[in-house]
């Protein structure tokens, strides 16, 4: 075994900073405030803190303990660690998810990270192509991403920033654990906190809008923190909070397992795990909850906030924030500081995502650190390309789904059950407390054994119980020609309450021009290909977002389900964009029950993306094939490791030097 396998953290603070660096990412500053504001404001903190206590912190302890325990057996990655917890021949294959997931995130995260670096430069030099409103800034971002040529001619600029970001990641990878990751986190984390505090102070001292004094920082904080406790009745709010805890703590990836494997057997894991989690919460709740939403409130006012809060993570960070900084004195400096903060948060996370794969190549396959880093860089550089060049075709979203939704929850569920049940809670508890600087409350024995796995199984089950988004997918349409015919003429009279006559012209008049043409093509018996279907579907989805669809008269007398009728009696001023989409989708389903199918389970809706009518089908399928090939490669690597290091895998106790 090469001597370099004995790499260790230089100190306790080193690994805590590294774990906190891994956990603190773009999600702390963009995803958390957006989720909180859109899901009950301050009330969101109730499920959020419950999730933190019942599975965030327990999962931290599980991963730190498993990592240190597996590391003592000579394993740095989940397959070997799972095998050391439970000697079942199949369990190591489930551990592959703990290498696969981080690679998949790495291959698109580095690209998103490079946007923050680019925007730090754009901000510093005031180069936003003259964009002064949301639409203009969205156009600028889309152009940067290669989706249009309004500001950038192709992807050259974006690709240059990606290369710089990727090279910085490579350089840190080459330097290894102590000189690379620990060195980076030791200076990047304090700088990140200083930048965060400076930005938070700037936002909290912003003067009110001179034209409207209600646009002040207190009302901005109120928008973020005033609780709407009625939101707690909605199970989706609880699931959103649980999901946020997952993303923010970096649990369920396999990264912490690898980091903790470099601890010695006598090092504490109980206090270190808790400190890593609490440092992340400091960045998320204190800084993340203070910067973006209050600032947006002052500059855009309450009327625009609902749309901004629901606009998504990328739009918040790369559209809303640049507009805010453009209007601030010294805005270019604060803007550059904001994007530098995001870049540091991103790079400390991306570098941690590379570590399980590099450790697997180095320690399980026995190749040198340098060769392992080179191999990882070559493979991931190739795999990054589809996410960059086919961003507009949904490749990045597809990678994100499989890595950050599917792998994360499945992996966390497996490791929790393995730890609490197969390794055994008594041994797990003793192992967790060996060398511990704090005693974990005994209540957590029961939380780890019963509550955390139940919580995770509920999240898994929710995929099958929760219906998918209200937008129509190709697989929801049962009969395209018949639907198009009815769209032209309106819903048939038979579907109307009390036989009221069909009102006025059909829905087709409301569709965009290309969708109207596609609907007409059917009447002329021309070939009805996927281009036509995509146009009709896109047109219908645009209609779903119209708040006036119900008022247009087309659906006034359609027989509606009871839940829709009850919803129509609620205060329309409080309807969100999703509510309107849901209502319009329900209207369409009620009007065309034979042609438009019901919404299915969330997971099924995602799989329907590969429907024949989806114009992005080749890209989505290609991405899925790429992921299958990657997983097969890891499977072959594991088989080689299993044969090559059988003596290590067969160990029934840690080697002499790892013994306490």
One residue of 15, 17, 85, 200 binding other proteins per CB under 8 A: 85
Residue 302 interacts with other proteins (CB under 8 A): yes or no: no
Residue 262, token pair as written in the block: 């470099």
Residue 221 vs 477, nearer CB to other proteins: 221
- Min. distance of Cβ 659 from other proteins in angstroms? 8
Is residue 8 within 8 A of residue 262, CB to CB? The reply is yes
Residue 170 vs 283, nearer CB to other proteins: 283
Q: Which stretch binds other proteins (CB under 8 A): 237-245, 249-257, 277-285, 533-541?
A: 277-285
Cα 620 from Cα 623, distance rounded (Å) = 5
Residue 12 interacts with other proteins (CB under 8 A): yes or no: yes
Neighbours of 622 (CB within 10 A): 16
Residue 621, token pair as written in the block: 């399928």
Residue 394, token pair as written in the block: 């949904």
Q: Which stretch binds other proteins (CB under 8 A): 173-181, 268-276, 443-451, 467-475?
A: 268-276
Residue 401 vs 434, nearer CB to other proteins: 434
SS3 of residue 595 by DSSP: coil
Residue 162 vs 225, nearer CB to other proteins: 225
Cα–Cα separations (whole angstroms), residue 509 to 488, 539, 585: 8, 11, 18
Dihedral through CA 578, CA 580, CA 583, CA 584, nearest 10? -110
One residue of 401, 434, 530, 631 binding other proteins per CB under 8 A: 434
Residue 330 vs 438, nearer CB to other proteins: 438
One residue of 147, 204, 271, 375 binding other proteins per CB under 8 A: 271
Residue 63 interacts with other proteins (CB under 8 A): yes or no: no
Nearest to 311 by CA among 47, 540, 122, 30: 30
One residue of 34, 177, 428, 638 binding other proteins per CB under 8 A: 428
Query: Which position has the token pair 């690679």?
Result: 103
Residue 382 interacts with other proteins (CB under 8 A): yes or no: no
Residue 281 interacts with other proteins (CB under 8 A): yes or no: yes
Cα 319 from Cα 342, distance rounded (Å) = 14
Residue 88 interacts with other proteins (CB under 8 A): yes or no: no
One residue of 160, 438, 443, 465 binding other proteins per CB under 8 A: 438
The DSSP output letter for 611 is -
Is residue 45 within 8 A of residue 213, CB to CB? The reply is no
Residue 13 interacts with other proteins (CB under 8 A): yes or no: yes
Nearest to 596 by CA among 467, 513, 490, 482: 482
Residue 448 interacts with other proteins (CB under 8 A): yes or no: no
Residue 264 interacts with other proteins (CB under 8 A): yes or no: no
Q: Which stretch binds other proteins (CB under 8 A): 129-137, 263-271, 482-490, 541-549?
A: 263-271
Cα 62 from Cα 67, distance rounded (Å) = 8
Residue 618, token pair as written in the block: 């080749």
Residue 50 interacts with other proteins (CB under 8 A): yes or no: no
Residue 228 vs 514, nearer CB to other proteins: 228
Residue 221 interacts with other proteins (CB under 8 A): yes or no: yes
Break the chain down into helix, strand, coil percent, rounded to 5.
75, 0, 25
Residue 144 interacts with other proteins (CB under 8 A): yes or no: no
One residue of 4, 5, 8, 45 binding other proteins per CB under 8 A: 45
Restricted to residues 188-207, the positions that interact with other proteins (CB under 8 A) are none
Residue 427 vs 644, nearer CB to other proteins: 427
Q: Which stretch binds other proteins (CB under 8 A): 101-109, 189-197, 223-231, 355-363?
A: 223-231
**To which H or E segment does residue 641 belong?**
helix 617-644
Helix axes 452-465, 57-72, angle to 10 degrees: 110
One residue of 219, 332, 466, 520 binding other proteins per CB under 8 A: 219
Cα 505 from Cα 489, distance rounded (Å) = 6
Residue 389 vs 434, nearer CB to other proteins: 434
Number of residues in contact with other proteins under rule CB under 8 A: 49
Q: Which stretch binds other proteins (CB under 8 A): 80-88, 95-103, 410-418, 481-489?
A: 80-88
Query: Which position has the token pair 């106790």?
Result: 653
Contacts of 276 by beta carbon, 8 Å cutoff, 6+ apart = 16, 19, 20, 23, 60, 64, 256
Residue 69 interacts with other proteins (CB under 8 A): yes or no: yes
Q: Which stretch binds other proteins (CB under 8 A): 149-157, 434-442, 445-453, 490-498?
A: 434-442
Q: Which stretch binds other proteins (CB under 8 A): 326-334, 421-429, 511-519, 619-627?
A: 421-429
One residue of 39, 143, 258, 279 binding other proteins per CB under 8 A: 279
Neighbours of 193 (CB within 10 A): 19
Restricted to residues 342-381, the positions that interact with other proteins (CB under 8 A) are none
Region of 40 (left: φ > 0; alpha: ψ -120 to 50; beta: rest) is left
Report how far Cα 61 is from the mean position of its chain's Cα atoms: 22
One residue of 246, 339, 423, 649 binding other proteins per CB under 8 A: 423
| 3-state SS record for 106-145 | HHHHHHHHHHHHHHHHHHHCCCCCCCCCHHHHHHHHHHHC
- Min. distance of Cβ 319 from other proteins in angstroms? 26
Residue 306, token pair as written in the block: 């609902």
Cα–Cα separations (whole angstroms), residue 545 to 240, 294, 550: 22, 27, 11
Phi, psi for 491 (deg, rounded to 5): -65, 140
Contact residues for other proteins, defined by CB under 8 A: 12-13, 16, 41-43, 45, 49, 69, 84-87, 218-219, 221-222, 225-227, 265-266, 268, 271, 274-275, 278-279, 281-282, 285-286, 289, 423, 427-428, 430-431, 433-439, 652-654, 660
């Amino acid at each position: 075994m090469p001597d370099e396998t004995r790499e260790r953290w230089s100190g306790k603070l080193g690994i805590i900073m590294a774990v906190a660096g891994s956990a603190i990412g773009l999600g702390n500053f963009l995803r958390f405030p957006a989720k909180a504001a859109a899901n009950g404001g301050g009330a969101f903190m109730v499920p959020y803190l419950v999730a933190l206590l019942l599975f965030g912190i327990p999962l931290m302890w599980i991963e730190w303990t498993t990592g240190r325990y597996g590391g003592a057996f000579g394993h740095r990655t989940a397959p070997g660690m799972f095998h050391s917890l439970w000697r079942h021949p199949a369990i190591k294959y489930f551990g592959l998810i703990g290498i696969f997931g981080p690679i998949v995130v790495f291959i698109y995260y580095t690209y998103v990270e490079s946007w923050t670096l680019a925007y730090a430069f754009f901000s510093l030099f005031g180069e936003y192509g003259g964009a002064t409103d949301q639409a203009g800034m969205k156009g600028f971002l889309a152009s940067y991403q290669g989706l249009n040529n309004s500001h950038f001619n192709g992807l050259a600029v974006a690709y240059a920033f990606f290369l710089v970001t990727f090279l910085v990641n490579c350089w840190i990878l080459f330097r290894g654990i102590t000189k690379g990751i620990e060195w980076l986190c030791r200076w990047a984390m304090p700088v990140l906190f200083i930048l965060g505090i400076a930005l938070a102070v700037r936002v909290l001292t912003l003067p009110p809008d001179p034209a409207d004094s209600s646009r002040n920082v207190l009302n901005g904080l109120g928008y973020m923190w005033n609780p709407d406790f009625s939101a707690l009745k909605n199970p989706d709010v609880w699931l959103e909070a649980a999901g946020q805890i997952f993303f923010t703590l970096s649990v369920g990836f396999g990264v912490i397992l690898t980091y903790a494997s470099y601890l010695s057997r006598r090092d504490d894991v109980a206090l270190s795990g808790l400190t890593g989690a609490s440092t992340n919460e400091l960045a998320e709740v204190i800084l993340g909850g203070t910067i973006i939403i209050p600032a947006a409130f002052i500059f855009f006012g309450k009327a625009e906030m609902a749309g901004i809060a629901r606009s998504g993570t990328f739009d918040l960070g790369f559209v809303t924030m640049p507009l805010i900084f453009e209007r601030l004195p010294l805005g270019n400096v604060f803007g550059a500081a904001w994007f530098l903060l995001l870049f540091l948060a991103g790079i400390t996370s991306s570098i941690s995502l590379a570590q399980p794969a590099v450790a697997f190549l180095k320690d399980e396959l026995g190749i040198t650190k340098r060769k392992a880093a080179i191999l990882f860089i070559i493979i991931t550089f190739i795999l990054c390309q589809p996410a960059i060049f086919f961003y507009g075709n949904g490749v990045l979203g597809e990678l994100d789904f499989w890595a950050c939704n599917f792998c994360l929850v499945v992996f966390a569920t497996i490791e929790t059950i393995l730890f609490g049940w197969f390794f055994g809670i008594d041994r797990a508890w003793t192992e967790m407390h060996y060398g511990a600087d704090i005693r974990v409350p005994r209540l957590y024995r029961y939380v780890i054994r019963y509550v955390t796995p139940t919580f995770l199984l509920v999240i898994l089950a929710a995929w099958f119980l929760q219906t998918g988004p209200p937008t129509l997918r190709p697989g929801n349409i049962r009969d395209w020609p018949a639907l198009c015919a009815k769209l032209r003429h309106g819903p048939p009279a038979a579907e109307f309450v009390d036989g009221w006559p069909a009102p006025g012209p059909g829905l087709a008049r409301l569709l965009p021009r290309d969708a109207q043409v596609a609907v007409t093509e059917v009447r002329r018996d021309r070939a009805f290909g996927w281009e036509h279907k995509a146009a009709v579907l896109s047109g219908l989805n645009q209609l779903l977002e119209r708040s006036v669809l119900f008022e247009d008269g087309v659906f006034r007398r359609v027989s509606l389900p009871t839940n829709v009728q009850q919803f129509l009696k609620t205060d329309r001023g409080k309807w969100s964009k999703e509510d309107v989409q849901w209502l319009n989708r329900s209207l369409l389903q009620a009007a065309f029950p034979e042609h438009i199918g019901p919404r299915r389970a969330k997971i099924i809706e995602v799989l329907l993306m590969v429907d024949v009518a989806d114009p992005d089908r080749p890209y989505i399928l290609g991405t899925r094939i790429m992921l299958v090939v990657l997983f097969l490669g890891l499977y072959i690597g594991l088989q080689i490791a299993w044969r090559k290091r059988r003596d290590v895998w067969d160990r029934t106790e840690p080697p002499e030097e790892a013994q306490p």
